[in-house]
Amino acid sequence: MKVVLINGSPNAEGCTYTALREVEQILNDEGIETQLFQVGKKPVSGCIACRSCFKTGHCFMDDSVKEVAALFPEHADGLILGSPVYYATMSGQISSFADRLFFSSMKERRFDYKVAAGIVSCRRGGAVGAFDDLNKYFLMNNMYVVGSQYWNMVHGSKPEEVKQDLEGLQTMRRLGKNMAFLLRAFQAAKQLEVKEAVLEEEHIFTNFIQGS
């Protein structure tokens, strides 16, 4: 079993990373493989709405969005999006990254029935808004969103400060435990041949202006 973690901060080893590592360590202790991706410091392009992915099943841009998409659904079972809080929302980098990751995955339905969580890091305020933003991707893609003992947030401007946020870090560790449990439960369900939650219908899209 494998969980992919994305650090949506340009700081490769900053606060968001510190929180992600706390979850990652628990997942690893529970025998779950992990792979961490960095959005990095270079600009991350947003979606240009070309819709070529509707035909090809992947984003035409050659960057780590493609790499992450290629891991789903066969090679990964869970996704964690991490973001610093920028003006009470997620970072522009993770927004661009996730827009393209999820839009280009619609054709293949890559994330259906995978487990997911968002985590955020802020100095002082806006964490809940940013956390909600991340969860929006999961909640319209048939994903199982994993919770913890509190909303998944840590506080600090530097990793050393995050390390003092004992409740925040505990929230991360419990998230790791909860996610590991759910992954094991799904694995057991598969062995017991429990029927997957598949709705045997074509996905209906009705725009508000019909025929558009």
Ligand X SMILES: Cc1cc2nc3c(=O)[nH]c(=O)nc-3n(C[C@H](O)[C@H](O)[C@H](O)COP(=O)(O)O)c2cc1C
User: How far, in Å, CA of 117 to CA of 101, rounded?
Assistant: 15
Q: Quick one: which of 85, 90, 134, 183 contacts ligand X (CB under 6 A)? A: 85
- Is 178 a binding residue for ligand X by CB under 6 A? The answer is no
- Binding marks (x or -) toward ligand X, 112..151, rule CB under 6 A? ---------xxxxxx-------------------------
Nearer to ligand X, 66 or 123 (CB): 123
Q: Measured in whole angstroms, how far is the alpha carbon of residue 189 from the centre of its chain?
A: 23
Residue 152 contacts ligand X per CB under 6 A: no
Closest CA relative to residue 20, chosen from 31, 12, 68, 45: 12
Of 13-21, 107-115, 136-144, 177-185, the window that binds ligand X (rule: CB under 6 A) is 13-21
Nearer to ligand X, 14 or 176 (CB): 14
Both structure tokens of 22: 């706390």
State yes or no: residue 96 binds ligand X (CB under 6 A).
Answer: no
To the nearest whole angstrom, how small is the minimum distance from the Cβ of residue 1 to ligand X? 26
* Least distance between ligand X and beta carbon 71 (Å): 23
DSSP bridge partners of 78 = 3, 115
For residue 38, the 8-state DSSP code is: E
24's CB contacts (< 8 A; 6+ apart) are 3, 5, 34, 36, 176
DSSP codes, 121-140:
EESSS-HHHHHHHHHHHHHT
Binding footprint of ligand X on the chain (CB under 6 A)? 9, 11, 14-17, 84-88, 121-126, 156-157
